[in-house]
Amino acid sequence: MTAAAPASQDILKPHLEIQGGNRLQGELRVSGAKNSALVLMTAALLTEDTLTLSNVPPLTDIDGMESILVSMGVKVRRSSETIHLQASDLTSAEPPYELVNGLRASFFAIGSILARMGHAKVPLPGGCRIGARPVVEHIRGLKALGAVVTVEHGVVSATVPGDRKRLKGASIVLDCPSVGATETILMAASLAKGTSVIENAAQEPEVQDLANLLNAMGARISGAGGPSITVEGVERLHGCDYTVIPDRIEAGTFLLAAAITRSTMRIAPVVPDHLNSVLQKLRDCGCVLEFDGDGIVITPGTIKGIDITTQPFPGFPTDLQAPFMALLATAQGTSVITEKIYENRMQHVGELQRMGAAIRVQGNAAVVEGVPSLSGAPVNGTDLRASAAMVLAGLVAKGRTQVSGLNHLDRGYAGIEAKLTASGAKLERHCS
Ligand code: EPU
Residue finishing a domain among 243, 266, 297: 243
Domain assignment present for residue 1? The answer is no
Q: Which among 284, 287, 247 has a CA at the least distance from the CA of 265?
A: 287
Summarised one tens digit per residue, pLDDT across range 194-250 is 999 999 999 999 999 999 999 999 999 999 999 999 999 999 999 999 999 999 999
Question: For residue 397, how far is the Cα from the chain centroid?
Answer: 26
Q: Which residue's CA is minimally distant from atom 26 of ligand 1?
A: 35
Same structural domain, 239 and 358: no
Active centre residues (catalytic): 128
Residue finishing a domain among 243, 260, 290: 243
The boundaries of the domain holding residue 198 are 34-243
Same structural domain, 212 and 318: no
Summarised one tens digit per residue, pLDDT across range 323-380 is 999 999 999 999 999 999 999 899 999 999 999 999 999 999 999 999 999 999 999 9
Residue 9 has pLDDT above 60, yes or no: no
Residue 23 has pLDDT above 90, yes or no: yes
Domain assignment present for residue 95? The answer is yes
CA distance linking residue 282 with residue 403, whole number of Å: 25
Domain assignment present for residue 293? The answer is yes
Q: Which among 9, 130, 6 has a CA at the least distance from the CA of 401?
A: 6
Range with lowest mean pLDDT among 40-54, 211-225, 405-419: 405-419
DSSP string, 217-270: TT-EEE-BTBSEEEEE--S----EEEEPPB-HHHHHHHHHHHHHTT--EEEES-
- Stretch 141-161: mean pLDDT: 96
Same structural domain, 251 and 325: yes
DSSP string, 12-46: HSSEEEEE--PPP-SEEE--B-HHHHHHHHHGGGG
| Cα-to-centroid distance, 329 and ligand 1 (Å) | 26
Report how many domains make up the chain: 2
Spell out which residues line ligand 1, taking CB within 6 angstroms.
35, 38, 104-105, 131, 133-137, 176, 178-181, 202, 204, 206, 317-319, 341-342, 384-385, 412
Same structural domain, 314 and 361: yes
Domain assignment present for residue 87? The answer is yes
Percent of the chain with pLDDT over 90: 92
Same structural domain, 319 and 408: yes
Q: Which residue's CA is minimally distant from atom 24 of ligand 1?
A: 180
* 3-state DSSP assignment of residue 172: strand
Q: Which residue's CA is minimally distant from atom 33 of ligand 1?
A: 35
Alpha carbons within 13 A on the beta-carbon side of 361: 18
Residue 387 has pLDDT above 80, yes or no: yes
Summarised one tens digit per residue, pLDDT across range 289-302 is 999 999 999 999 99
CA distance linking residue 13 with residue 27, whole number of Å: 30
Same structural domain, 217 and 250: no
Task: Give, in order, the Cα–Cα distances in Å from 225 to each of 46, 172, 189, 222.
Answer: 22, 16, 17, 9
Same structural domain, 23 and 157: no
| Cα-to-centroid distance, 341 and ligand 1 (Å) | 8
CA distance linking residue 217 with residue 219, whole number of Å: 6
Same structural domain, 11 and 111: no
Residue 163 has pLDDT above 80, yes or no: no
Judge residue 427's burial from the number of C-beta atoms within 10 Å of its C-beta, 0-12 exposed, 13-18 middle, 19 or more buried: buried
Summarised one tens digit per residue, pLDDT across range 69-102 is 999 999 999 999 999 999 999 999 999 999 998 7
Range with lowest mean pLDDT among 38-52, 124-138, 354-368: 124-138
Same structural domain, 66 and 85: yes
Q: Mean pLDDT score of the chain, rounded to an integer?
A: 95
Domain assignment present for residue 209? The answer is yes
pLDDT band at 313 (very low <50, low <70, confident <90, very high): very high
Same structural domain, 69 and 218: yes
CA distance linking residue 9 with residue 336, whole number of Å: 34
Task: Give, in order, the Cα–Cα distances in Å from 396 to each of 23, 305, 401.
Answer: 8, 17, 10
CATH of the domain at 93: 3.65.10.10
Residue finishing a domain among 212, 243, 274: 243
Domain assignment present for residue 361? The answer is yes
Domain assignment present for residue 2? The answer is no
Helices (H) and strands (E) in the chain, counts: 15, 23
Domain assignment present for residue 50? The answer is yes
Same structural domain, 132 and 281: no
CA distance linking residue 225 with residue 4, whole number of Å: 42
Same structural domain, 270 and 320: yes
